[in-house]
Structure 1
Amino acid sequence: MSKQVKEFIVMTSAVAYLLPHTLKESPQLTELVFLNNALRSIHAQAFEDLTQLQELEISGNPWLENLYMGTFSRQKNLMKLLLNFNRFKTVLPGMFDSLKQIATLQMKGNLISHLPMFLFLNLNNLLVLDLSQNKLEEMKRETFFGLTRLQILKVNNNLISNLTCDTFKNISQLTELHLEGNKISELTDGIFSGLTRLNVLNLRGNLLTTFSQKVFGFNVSNLRELNLKGNRLTELSSLSRLTSLTDLVLSSNQLSSLPEDIFRNVTLLENLDLSENQLSLLPELIFYNLSAITSIHLHKNNLRRLEPKLFNDQWLMQQLYLSDNQLETLPPGLFDLFIVEHTVRLHGNPWRCDCHMWYLHDWVLRNNNIIQREDSVRCNSPDFLRQRVVASVDRDQLVCRLSADEMPDIRSCSIKAFNDAMIVKCQVDKCSPMTVKVQFQEDDGNIKEHVLRSERSECSNGTRSEGSLMIPEY
């Protein structure tokens, strides 16, 4: 090998054994990679002459079950060691003691079930530790002794079911903690209280039934991303102390309701995912003062109606997913405050195409370019419009039909034209105010409604009063 070669990569070969001093003639190497080979054994002195190595990878060897003590004893300049997707079941104590400069250590995708105490004691410069996709059942405080600068810890997709209150006490500099895909069913109060620099916490795919901000203790939390997707959450208390939170994922749980103050003070929140739960109603002020939100996912719930002011503070909305709920109509003006172009999903709801549909119908026609799967936004009732695409329904067809019992008696009313005004004259025989609603349709199809109320009639039993309302010309 030329002395100019600094990086040497062996991929998908039949190499099964690395013998002592195999690369003795290439001490200049700074990067050595064995990827997806057939390695079965690596001699403890295989890398003894490679004192300049900065990066070493031995990954993807399905028959490599162990490493011998001293294998990395001469790699004092090593910055990155990747030992992924082999068949390691154990790691010997002291295996990494000589790697005082190492910043990244990965051992994901092996069969490691436990780690010796003080295994990383001398790795004071380690920043990233990846132990994901193994068979780890527990983590102890002693496991992380010495990792005073560790920033990213990945222990996701293991078999961890229990975390003690002092598990993370020795790694207070963590900014990312990945615990997803384990069997954690409970978190004790204050378990993350020492992690004051934590920005990302991923607990996706565990067995949690409740979650509380008490897990962060009473310290100010810098958490920006919290992922609780795919747990068994039925209860969620206030998150008001997570004032730095920008991304919150609560999807695929069993939440049927949320407290009104759950997001109070979480004013930096940008992305909120509540999809695939059992929510039937959201408090009108649940998103109050969350003006930074750009994305709210509410699809695949049981929402039957939305409050008129639900999104009053979300001017910057870019994604609003309401698909696959039980919505029959939307309150007028629900989307009118959004000031940027956004994407909306409305399909999969049993829309009732009657007079209460006017607002949504007109909004769909005006905004068909931002509605995803517009042709799937269909009427569920009445029968004569069932399965019709909402945008294809003529506005005149959106009527509310009254039963004979509900039909008012209008035989006592008359309409007369007088100069440039229309006069509606009705006789009433009840001592109560009368309300007349008049709707004017402009050339562009917009509807403006005027509500006219008469003064309370002064009458007594057995008397009849007559009144008239003048409707100005529009």
Structure 2
Amino acid sequence: MPDVECKNQALETLPDSIDPETQVLDISGNKLGFLPQDAFRRAGLLNLQRIHVRNSRLTQIDPGAFNELKNLVEIDLGDNLLTSVPSLALRATPFLRDLNLAGNPIQRIPKGGFEYVPQLVKLDLSRCQLVEIDPQAFAHLKLLESLKISSNRLTTLNNNTVKSLAQLHAMELHDNPWDCDCRLRDLKLWIENENIPHPVSPSCRTPNRLTGNDSVQV
């Protein structure tokens, strides 16, 4: 089945006449701005398994943009202009396994932000502008194996946010301004007790005695 690339062509809408048997579609580097309702269904692309829409100036995704894409397992929305998780649009993709939202100006992840994608295995939220993640943000992600929240503005993270992630095998926390006080103690102990790999150790912003320390301590 064909893979189709339509990268860096200044497209403002999905191109016409794409083979309906296409399983992998890469339309990164365009000027889409908005994914409308039934965007892929109207183009006859119901066999898509992977969609890459990186760096395409996306500011909004209609709740019905991915309607009828029953085989979709990967969506890459990295380096766009989304200010929130497109939770409602993800209702149509219950079997999604890999979601990349890195590099979007998302500041908060609400409770249940990923409730419609319980099959997620990989989630990338790095290089956003996160300042807050609700303790129940990942509550539905029982199968999640990889979580990236590096290079954000997080100062603390409730232990309840991640302790339900029983399948987690990789986590990236570095390049956040962590306040290494007692609130982070449970998180630190959980990471150690569960032996969660984190390739780069996070460092502390405060208190002053720990500033720049290459690992979170309390």
TM-score (norm 2): 0.73
Q: Distance in 1 between matches of 2:160 and 2:119?
A: 20
Alignment of 1:438-453 (within 5 A): none
What is the CA-CA distance between 1:346 and the residue it aligns to? Answer: 3.4
Q: Distance in 2 between matches of 1:292 and 1:194?
A: 23
What is the CA-CA distance between 1:193 and the residue it aligns to? Answer: 0.8
Give the match's secondary structure for 1:335: helix
In the other structure, the counterpart of 1:262 is 113
Q: For 1:423-444, what per-residue CA distance to the aligned partner results, in whole angstroms no more than 9, with x for missing partners?
A: xxxxxxxxxxxxxxxxxxxxxx
What is the CA-CA distance between 1:172 and the residue it aligns to? Answer: 1.8
Q: For 1:270-299, what per-residue CA distance to the aligned partner results, in whole angstroms no more than 9, with x for missing partners?
A: 222222233333333333353433322222
Matched, 1:153 2:25: yes
In the other structure, the counterpart of 1:342 is 197
Pick closer, same or farther for the CA change 1:255–1:197 going to 2, 3 Å: same
In the other structure, the counterpart of 2:86 is 212
Q: Distance in 2 between matches of 1:288 and 1:187?
A: 23
Q: Distance in 2 between matches of 1:308 and 1:192?
A: 33
* One of 179, 185, 196 as aligned partner of 1:327: 179
Q: Distance in 1 between matches of 2:108 and 2:173?
A: 16
* One of 45, 56, 75 as aligned partner of 1:201: 75
In the other structure, the counterpart of 1:181 is 55
What is the CA-CA distance between 1:130 and the residue it aligns to? Answer: 2.6
What is the CA-CA distance between 1:144 and the residue it aligns to? Answer: 2.2
Q: Distance in 1 between matches of 2:87 and 2:135?
A: 23
Q: For 1:221-241, what per-residue CA distance to the aligned partner results, in whole angstroms no more than 9, with x for missing partners?
A: 2xxxxxxxxxxxxxxxxxxxx
Q: Distance in 2 between matches of 1:326 and 1:148?
A: 48
Give the match's secondary structure for 2:89: helix
What is the CA-CA distance between 1:388 and the residue it aligns to? Answer: 7.0
Give the match's secondary structure for 1:248: strand
Larger RCO (CA under 8 A, 6+ residues apart): 2
Pick closer, same or farther for the CA change 1:196–1:277 going to 2, 3 Å: same
Q: Distance in 2 between matches of 1:390 and 1:161?
A: 39
Give the match's secondary structure for 2:114: coil
Q: Distance in 2 between matches of 1:209 and 1:349?
A: 27
For the pair shown, which has the larger CA radius of gyration, 1 or 2?
1
Amino acid at match of 2:185: P
Amino acid at match of 1:204: G
What is the CA-CA distance between 1:331 and the residue it aligns to? Answer: 2.0
Q: For 1:299-343, what per-residue CA distance to the aligned partner results, in whole angstroms no more than 9, with x for missing partners?
A: 2223232324333223443322222323223224333541x5623
Give the match's secondary structure for 2:160: coil
Give the match's secondary structure for 1:309: helix
Q: Percent identity, aligned pairs only?
A: 21
Q: Distance in 1 between matches of 2:114 and 2:39?
A: 28
The unaligned stretches of length 5 or more in structure 1 are: 1-102, 104-126, 222-241, 353-379, 399-474
> Which structure carries more strand by proportion?
1
Q: Distance in 2 between matches of 1:386 and 1:166?
A: 49
What is the CA-CA distance between 1:164 and the residue it aligns to? Answer: 5.1
In the other structure, the counterpart of 2:9 is 134
Amino acid at match of 1:343: H
Q: Distance in 2 between matches of 1:308 and 1:167?
A: 39
TM-score (norm 1): 0.38
Pick closer, same or farther for the CA change 1:249–1:350 going to 2, 3 Å: same
Q: Distance in 2 between matches of 1:129 and 1:390?
A: 43
Give the match's secondary structure for 2:61: coil
Pick closer, same or farther for the CA change 1:345–1:189 going to 2, 3 Å: same
Q: CA RMSD in A?
A: 3.5
What is the CA-CA distance between 1:349 and the residue it aligns to? Answer: 1.7
Alignment of 1:45-64 (within 5 A): none
The unaligned stretches of length 5 or more in structure 2 are: none
Tell whether the 8 Å contact from 1:312 to 1:337 is kept in structure 2 after alignment.
no
Tell whether the 8 Å contact from 1:309 to 1:334 is kept in structure 2 after alignment.
no
* One of 13, 17, 22 as aligned partner of 1:144: 17
What is the CA-CA distance between 1:161 and the residue it aligns to? Answer: 4.1
Alignment of 1:88-103 (within 5 A): none
Q: Distance in 1 between matches of 2:213 and 2:26?
A: 50
Give the match's secondary structure for 1:177: strand
Tell whether the 8 Å contact from 2:47 to 2:71 is kept in structure 1 after alignment.
yes
Matched, 1:246 2:97: yes
Amino acid at match of 1:303: L
What is the CA-CA distance between 1:210 and the residue it aligns to? Answer: 4.3
What is the CA-CA distance between 1:200 and the residue it aligns to? Answer: 2.6
Amino acid at match of 2:164: D
Q: Distance in 1 between matches of 2:97 and 2:126?
A: 17
